[in-house]
Amino acid sequence: MDRLDVYFKALKKWGLEAQVLMLAEEASELSVAALHFRRGRSLHELAEEIADVKIMIEQVVIAIEDFGDLVAVVTEEKINRLKERLGS
Contact 55, 43 (CB under 8 A): no
Hey, is 8 helix, strand or coil? helix
Mean pLDDT of the 36-53 span: 95
Span 47-68, pLDDT tens digits: 999 999 999 999 999 999 999 9
* Structural domains of the chain in order of their starting residue, each with its CATH number: 3-86 (1.10.287)
Q: What is the pLDDT of residue 83?
A: 96
Q: Rounded to two decimals, what is the model's pTM?
A: 0.90
**Is residue 61 classed exposed, middle or buried when 0-12, 13-18 and 19+ CB atoms within 10 A define those classes?**
middle
Q: What is the pLDDT of residue 41?
A: 87
Residue 18 — very low, low, confident or very high, per pLDDT cuts 50/70/90? very high
Distance, in Å, from the CA atom of 46 to the CA atom of 88, rounded to the nearest integer, reads 30
Neighbours of 22 (CB within 10 A): 18
